């Protein structure tokens, strides 16, 4: 068996909330191999963000084990880059410096940092805006910066929590296409949260379907359609119906 | 343009109201202008006030900027610690909050007992006046950093020990600047009160002395000079702020 880059084994998460224990996720099992593009879908409150944040190392697991390359995840680290829906850019840094933040933080030499900044500013098409500050950018541009800064940091796994949820439909489609291109070129492993079935089918190798009350994984479907995927094709529609059924709870 | 209309109108109203009648408790703009010239360069009245403006202005400015600098030097690190170190907050915050509502001027009698009648009391009041705005805004700034930014920094590989310098400080800078600006403004308010008792030099001192001698035109000169100096120093801080905070939509 190929070794999994991420291995989630019987993971549960409970939060203490107003003195009570809330179960956000129960007994989740998920193996992801290097290079896979996996989407998590499900209605809100089913534990998608919780699972992603545990993989990122922002939250600890209550039960079970969460392994990356067979080692337990103990905290955040540059091998797992996160792209937030609200961008989380440093407003006091220019586009270039936001992208260079990780390499600087990890003490890379200045010359290398500059070259990395250049390379990734260009990769996400923001050369003209390299010296702009985040508040001067559109939402789509901000999210490009957020993606570029985790790539610039050599992240092996890219975790994305509804990254395009706040963008208009046209920008979203462009960014989906760009993301797929970068994913293929950089051989990334992507774990991508969305609540849009279409987005999941456009992007993913595998769609993991989750359900609330308490949050759990209910299905794990492979999408074998060739890319780029055509949302008007009958196969796409069949998959949409299939996943819609799983989400609605009749299996 | 509009900003000029109102003061010119007010000046005209002032001028007209001092015309004619022998009733002259309020000096005319002309008299004040003459007094200001004499205060600055001498050669008109050649009395005790002539040519003393620079001395007084420098004395006040040294107290304002000295007291302000000392206040900033204490309040900035203290505010950062209160904001980020729970133990320091638990120890100091209640006391500081309790003392905060006491108006700075209410400290004057006590300051005169401790520091004696003289410039040191004035300096202390300026310090106190500038202290709280800087402290409160620094605490607020370092406490209200978006949690998301710490997560972003951590997943990019920043060590927790570096996050103060790389995340907290830059994120708090706009608040800190607001505090510095308010503090300096307060320093100018307080200096006059501080210099009104037992101080020989300073703009507050000449205002007080001129009042006792019924030289109202000198009183007005003192007020005008304080206004201008306060305005210029505020603009200076604002300019520095705008340069450093180019990234902030509120400041840049
Ligand atoms: N920090 C927290 N404290 C308490 N409850 C939480 C916390 N984070 C998430 N939850 C709860 O866990 C459940 C799953 O949340 P989440 O993972 O954000 O769902 P999703 O991202 O799928 O919408 C929700 O019921 C939510 O209220
Ligand atoms: Mg969520």
Shortest distance, CA B193 to any CA of chain A (angstroms): 39
E strand map for B59-127? none
Q: What is the pLDDT of residue A251?
A: 52
What residues of B are in contact with residue A86 (Cβ under 8 Å)? 148
Chain A, nearest residue to B150 by Cα: A88
Nearest-atom number in ligand 1 for the CA of A13 is 12
Q: What is the pLDDT of residue B116?
A: 87
Q: Is A47 in the pocket of ligand 1 (CB under 6 A)?
A: yes
pLDDT category of residue B3 using cuts at 50, 70 and 90? confident
Q: Work out the percent of chain B whose per-residue pLDDT is above 90.
A: 71
Q: What is the pLDDT of residue B198?
A: 83
Beta bridge partners of A81: A158
Residue B23 has pLDDT above 70, yes or no: no
A52 CA to centre of ligand 2 in angstroms: 9
Among B162, B247, B252, select the one facing A105 at the smallest CB separation: B162
| CATH, residue B223 | 1.10.3720.10
Q: What are the CB-based long-range contacts (under 8 Å, 24+) for A71-77?
A: A75/B154, A76/B151, A76/B154, A76/B155, A77/B155, A77/B157
Q: Which residues contact residue A7 at a Cβ distance below 8 angstroms, ignoring those fewer than 6 apart?
A: A30, A31, A32, A65, A66, A67, A68, A70
CA B244 centroid distance within chain = 21
Residue B78 lies in a domain: yes
A228 CA to centre of ligand 2 in angstroms: 27
- Per DSSP, the residues of B127-196 read HHHHHHHHHHHHHHHHH---HHHHHHHHHTT--GGGHIIIIIHHHHHHHHHHHHHHHHHHHHHHHHHHTT
The DSSP element (H or E) to which B13 belongs, if any, is helix B2-17
What residues of B are in contact with residue A57 (Cβ under 8 Å)? 154-155
- Tens of pLDDT, residues A230-241: 999 999 999 999
- Per DSSP, the residues of B194-238 read HTTSS-SSSHHHHHHHHHHTT-HHHHHHHHHHHHHHHHHHHHHHH
Shortest distance, CA A93 to any CA of chain B (angstroms): 7
Q: Is A24 in the pocket of ligand 1 (CB under 6 A)?
A: yes
CB pairs A-B closer than 8 Å: 72
Q: Is A210 helix (H, G, I), strand (E, B) or coil?
A: strand
| Cα–Cα distance, B169 to B141 (Å, whole number) | 8
Shortest distance, CA A91 to any CA of chain B (angstroms): 6
**Residue carrying the six token digits 């000029």:** B4
pLDDT category of residue A164 using cuts at 50, 70 and 90? very high
Q: Please, what is the average pLDDT of chain B?
A: 92
- Tens of pLDDT, residues B102-138: 988 888 888 889 998 888 999 999 999 999 999 999 9
| Cα–Cα distance, A46 to A38 (Å, whole number) | 17
Give yes or no for a contact between A223 and A205, defined as CB atoms under 8 angstroms apart. Answer: yes
Residue B41 lies in a domain: no
Q: Please, what is the average pLDDT of chain A?
A: 95
Q: What is the pLDDT of residue A126?
A: 96
Cβ–Cβ gap B156/A153 under 8 Å: yes
Cβ–Cβ gap B156/A58 under 8 Å: no
Give yes or no for a contact between A26 and A51, defined as CB atoms under 8 angstroms apart. Answer: no
Q: What is the pLDDT of residue A50?
A: 97
A139 CA to centre of ligand 2 in angstroms: 19
Residue B183 lies in a domain: yes
- Residue bearing the CA closest to ligand 1, atom 21: A49
CA atoms within 13 A on the CB side of A241: 6
Give yes or no for a contact between B92 and B82, defined as CB atoms under 8 angstroms apart. Answer: yes
Q: Which residues contact residue B87 at a Cβ distance below 8 angstroms, ignoring those fewer than 6 apart?
A: none
| Cα–Cα distance, A87 to A137 (Å, whole number) | 12
pLDDT category of residue A250 using cuts at 50, 70 and 90? low
Give the burial class of B143: count Cβ atoms within 10 A of its Cβ; 0-12 exposed, 13-18 middle, 19 or more buried: middle
Residue B85 has pLDDT above 70, yes or no: yes
Its domain, for residue B99, covers: 55-244
Check: complex ipTM more than 0.90: yes
Q: Is A187 helix (H, G, I), strand (E, B) or coil?
A: coil
Residue B70 has pLDDT above 90, yes or no: yes
Residue B22 has pLDDT above 90, yes or no: no
Give yes or no for a contact between A41 and A247, defined as CB atoms under 8 angstroms apart. Answer: yes
Shortest distance, CA A28 to any CA of chain B (angstroms): 23
Q: Work out the percent of chain A whose per-residue pLDDT is above 90.
A: 95
Residue B47 lies in a domain: no
For the ranges A15-19, A189-193, A216-220, which has the lowest average pLDDT? A15-19
Nearest-atom number in ligand 1 for the CA of A50 is 17
Q: What is the pLDDT of residue B252?
A: 59
Q: Residue range A184-191: average pLDDT?
A: 95
Residue A100 has pLDDT above 90, yes or no: yes
Cβ–Cβ gap B152/A92 under 8 Å: no
A131-159 burial, b at 16+ Cβ within 10 Å, e below that, comes to ebbbeebebbbbbbbbbbbbbbbebbbbb
pTM: 0.91
Residue B218 has pLDDT above 90, yes or no: yes
Q: Is A100 in the pocket of ligand 1 (CB under 6 A)?
A: no
Edge-to-edge strands of the sheet including A206-211? A80-83, A157-161, A189-194, A37-41, A206-211, A216-222
Cβ–Cβ gap B158/A90 under 8 Å: no
Residue B11 lies in a domain: no
Beta bridge partners of A68: A6, A71
| Cα–Cα distance, B23 to B34 (Å, whole number) | 20
Cβ–Cβ gap B155/A92 under 8 Å: no
B160 C-beta neighbours (distance < 10 Å), count: 11
Q: Which residues contact residue A56 at a Cβ distance below 8 angstroms, ignoring those fewer than 6 apart?
A: A76, A80, A82, A159, B151, B155
CA A149 centroid distance within chain = 14
A200 CA to centre of ligand 1 in angstroms: 21
Residue B8 lies in a domain: no
Among A58, A91, A105, select the one facing B247 at the smallest CB separation: A91
B79-113 burial, b at 16+ Cβ within 10 Å, e below that, comes to bbbbbbeeeebeeeeeebeeeeeeebeebbeebbe
pLDDT category of residue B25 using cuts at 50, 70 and 90? confident
Q: Residue range A58-83: average pLDDT?
A: 97
| Phi, psi of A155, rounded to the nearest 5 degrees | -65, 135
Among B148, B155, B171, select the one facing A86 at the smallest CB separation: B148
Residue B1 has pLDDT above 80, yes or no: no
Q: Is B124 helix (H, G, I), strand (E, B) or coil?
A: helix
Nearest-atom number in ligand 1 for the CA of A215 is 14
Residue B206 has pLDDT above 60, yes or no: yes
- Tens of pLDDT, residues B125-178: 999 999 999 999 999 999 999 999 999 999 999 999 999 999 999 999 999 999
Residue B17 lies in a domain: no
Among B146, B154, B247, select the one facing A76 at the smallest CB separation: B154
Domains annotated on chain A, with CATH: 33-60+74-249 (3.40.50.300)
Q: Which residues contact residue A193 at a Cβ distance below 8 angstroms, ignoring those fewer than 6 apart?
A: A39, A40, A41, A48, A49, A52, A160, A161, A162
Residue B43 backbone zone (phi > 0: left; psi -120 to 50: alpha; other: beta): left
Q: How many domains does the structure of chain B reveal? A: 1
Residue B223 lies in a domain: yes
pLDDT category of residue A155 using cuts at 50, 70 and 90? very high
| Token representation of residue B125 | 């009041």
Residue B20 backbone zone (phi > 0: left; psi -120 to 50: alpha; other: beta): left
- Residue bearing the CA closest to ligand 1, atom 3: A15
CA atoms within 13 A on the CB side of B243: 5
| Cα–Cα distance, A87 to B149 (Å, whole number) | 10
């Amino acid at each position: 068996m190929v070794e999994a880059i991420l291995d989630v084994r019987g993971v549960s998460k409970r939060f203490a909330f107003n003195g009570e224990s809330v179960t956000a996720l129960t007994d989740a099992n998920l193996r992801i191999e290097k290079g896979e593009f996996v989407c998590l879908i499900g209605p809100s409150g089913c534990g998608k963000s919780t699972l992603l944040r545990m993989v990122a190392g922002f939250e600890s697991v209550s039960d079970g084990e969460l392994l990356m390359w067979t080692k337990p995840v103990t905290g955040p680290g540059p091998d797992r880059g996160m792209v937030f829906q609200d961008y989380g850019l440093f407003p006091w840094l220019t586009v270039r410096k936001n992208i260079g933040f990780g390499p600087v933080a990890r003490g890379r030499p200045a010359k290398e940092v500059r070259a990395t900044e250049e390379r990734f500013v260009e990769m996400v098409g923001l050369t003209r805006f390299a010296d702009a500050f985040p508040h001067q950018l559109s939402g789509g541009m901000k999210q490009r910066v957020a993606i570029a800064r985790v790539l610039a940091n050599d992240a092996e796994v890219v975790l994305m929590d509804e990254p395009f949820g706040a963008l208009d439909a046209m920008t979203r489609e462009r960014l989906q296409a760009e993301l797929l291109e970068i994913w293929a070129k950089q051989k990334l492993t992507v774990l991508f949260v969305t609540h849009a079935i279409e987005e999941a089918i456009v992007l993913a190798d595998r769609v993991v379907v989750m359900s609330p009350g308490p949050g759990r994984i209910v299905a794990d479907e492979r999408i074998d359609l060739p890319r780029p995927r055509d949302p008007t094709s009958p196969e796409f529609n069949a998959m949409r119906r299939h996943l819609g059924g799983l989400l609605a709870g009749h299996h | 343009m509009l900003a000029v209309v109102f003061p010119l109108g007010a000046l005209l109203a002032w001028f007209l109201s001092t015309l004619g009648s022998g009733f002259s408790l309020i000096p005319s703009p002309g008299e004040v202008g003459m007094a200001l010239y004499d205060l600055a360069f001498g050669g008109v009245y050649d009395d005790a006030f002539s040519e003393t403006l620079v001395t007084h202005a420098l004395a006040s400015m040294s107290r304002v900027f000295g007291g302000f600098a000392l206040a900033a030097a204490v309040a900035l690190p203290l505010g950062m610690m209160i904001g980020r170190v729970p133990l320091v907050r638990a120890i100091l915050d209640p006391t500081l909050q309790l003392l905060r509502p006491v108006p700075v001027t209410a400290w004057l009698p006590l300051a005169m007992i401790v520091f004696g009648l003289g410039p040191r009391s004035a300096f202390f009041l300026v310090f106190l006046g500038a202290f709280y705005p800087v402290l409160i805004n620094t605490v607020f700034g370092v406490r209200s950093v978006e949690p998301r930014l710490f997560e972003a920094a951590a997943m990019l590989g920043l060590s927790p020990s570096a996050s103060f310098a790389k995340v907290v400080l830059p994120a708090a800078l706009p608040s800190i600047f607001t505090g510095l600006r308010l503090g300096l403004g307060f320093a100018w308010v307080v200096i006059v009160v501080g210099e009104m008792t037992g101080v020989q030099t300073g703009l507050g001192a000449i205002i007080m002395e001129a009042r006792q001698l019924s030289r109202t035109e000198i009183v007005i000169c003192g007020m005008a000079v304080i206004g201008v100096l306060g305005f210029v120093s505020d603009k200076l801080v604002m300019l520095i702020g705008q340069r450093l905070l180019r990234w902030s939509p509120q400041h840049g």
